[in-house]
């Protein structure tokens, strides 16, 4: 555990040192949202969202890219130190999900950085195209879980072990895609997603320590340190945002961490705020599709609270507090004998 905490400190220090020049670099290359004219999955304007976020135009996006680079390099270096105890396929699913979903998010961020790219077929993705690529990446990861790591079961306390066989692949892919999109949806307020990620990672670091899973613990510890330093610059009013490159990669890898620990129920509870965020958006989408009207005045949940008059910092801090309690409950479920 001491080694893991040391890696967290090292990762936090390196990320903190690099963040200021990285922010300056993003300003220099104009990696900023140029306008606040967003559209929902049905390609309709979102005036409520634009109203509350118009003042954020000009803030650099893509902070998740630095987190990915720092964490990937440090992880490979740390695994080199402890290579005798590392399963290479566990490394693969962690880094492939982290980098793969990050690259997909970076590609999608191009449209926000350069409006003219929206007319270019090589930049910006339609929702269905992004969704298809997410599923392809998730199925690759899930197949490795099944064929190389031997995962084909679910364990839920009180129910026991349920063997899924080949069905574990679509199930795991669903979990990964769900969390990637949940994180992307939650990254709508300054510090919201990154703060919740930090809480979730701290909970899973405790789980890996209890399981004595050094390979997974190394990655979680390094990622936690990097996200903590990023959060310092991401709280209200943010100097930098995760962007899709950060939110999608972190969401996907959080799901993979949960799958590797075989704590699916704990994952759903620890990431409970993310579940609420994507759940509210999904209900809104389905209601619009089938009933042709809104179920809520606005979605996801954090935007609904803004619409009701809550200040952004109030929403974020209370979401962190709720996320903390979810994490405690999830830890209890994961560690109880």
- Residue 324's CB is within 10 A of a number of other CB atoms, namely 16
Per the listing, tokens 């930049």 go with 123
- The predicted pLDDT at position 289 comes to 84
Per DSSP bridges, beta strands 153-156 and 160-163 are antiparallel
Picking from 185, 153, 157, 189, the residue whose alpha carbon sits closest to that of residue 169 is 153
- The predicted pLDDT at position 41 comes to 47
- The predicted pLDDT at position 42 comes to 45
- The predicted pLDDT at position 192 comes to 95
- Contact (CB, 8 A) for 200 and 326: no
CA dist., res. 228 & res. 16, Å (int): 9
Taking only the tens place, the pLDDT of each residue in 18-60 is: 999 999 999 888 877 665 556 554 445 667 767 777 767 778 8
Q: What does residue 161 show for φ and ψ, rounded to 5 degrees?
A: -90, 130
- The predicted pLDDT at position 15 comes to 96
Q: What's the mean pLDDT when you consider all of the chain?
A: 87
Picking from 165, 174, 120, the residue whose alpha carbon sits closest to that of residue 147 is 165
Q: What is the pTM of this model?
A: 0.90
Taking only the tens place, the pLDDT of each residue in 160-171 is: 677 788 999 999
CA dist., res. 280 & res. 174, Å (int): 18
Domain ranges across the chain: 2-335
- Contact (CB, 8 A) for 111 and 243: no
- Within a 13 Å sphere around the CA of 44, how many CA atoms are in the beta-carbon half? 9
- Residue 167's CB is within 10 A of a number of other CB atoms, namely 12
Taking only the tens place, the pLDDT of each residue in 212-244 is: 777 889 999 999 999 999 999 999 888 999 989
Q: What are the Cα distances from residue 288, in Å, to 26, 177, 295?
A: 37, 22, 7
CA dist., res. 255 & res. 295, Å (int): 28
- The predicted pLDDT at position 88 comes to 86
154, β-bridge pairs = 162
Q: Which residues of the chain have pLDDT under 50?
A: 41-43, 116-118, 121-122
- Contact (CB, 8 A) for 130 and 51: no
Taking only the tens place, the pLDDT of each residue in 104-115 is: 999 888 776 765
- The predicted pLDDT at position 160 comes to 64
């Amino acid at each position: 555990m001491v080694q893991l905490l040391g890696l967290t400190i090292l990762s936090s220090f390196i990320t903190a040192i690099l963040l200021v020049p990285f922010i300056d670099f993003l300003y220099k290359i104009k990696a900023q949202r140029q306008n606040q004219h967003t559209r929902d999955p049905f390609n309709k304007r979102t005036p409520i969202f634009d109203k509350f976020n118009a003042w954020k135009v000009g803030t650099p996006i893509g902070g998740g890219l630095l987190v990915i680079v720092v964490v990937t390099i440090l992880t490979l270096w740390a695994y080199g130190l402890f290579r005798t105890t590392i399963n290479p396929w566990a490394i693969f699913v962690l880094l492939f999900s982290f980098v793969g979903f990050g690259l997909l998010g970076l590609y999608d961020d191009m449209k926000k950085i350069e409006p003219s790219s929206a007319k270019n077929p090589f930049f910006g993705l339609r929702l269905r195209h992004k969704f298809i690529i997410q599923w392809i990446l998730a199925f690759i990861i899930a197949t490795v879980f099944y064929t190389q790591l031997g995962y084909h079961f679910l364990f839920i306390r009180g129910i026991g072990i349920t063997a899924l066989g080949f069905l574990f692949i679509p199930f795991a892919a669903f979990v990964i895609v769900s969390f990637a999109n949940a994180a992307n949806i939650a990254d709508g307020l300054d510090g919201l997603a990154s703060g919740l990620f930090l809480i979730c990672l701290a909970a899973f670091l405790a789980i890996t320590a209890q399981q004595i899973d050094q390979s997974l613990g190394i990655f979680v510890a390094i990622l936690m340190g990097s996200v903590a330093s990023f959060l310092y610059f991401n709280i209200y009013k943010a100097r930098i945002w995760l962007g899709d490159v950060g939110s999608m990669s972190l969401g996907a890898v959080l799901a993979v961490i949960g799958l590797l620990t075989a704590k699916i129920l704990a994952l759903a509870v620890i990431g409970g705020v993310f579940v609420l965020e994507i759940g509210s958006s999904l209900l809104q989408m389905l209601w619009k599709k089938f009933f042709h009207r809104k179920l809520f005045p606005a979605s996801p949940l954090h935007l609904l609270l803004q619409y009701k008059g809550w200040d952004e910092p109030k929403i974020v801090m209370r979401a962190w507090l709720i996320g903390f309690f979810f994490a405690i409950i999830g830890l209890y479920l994961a560690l109880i004998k």
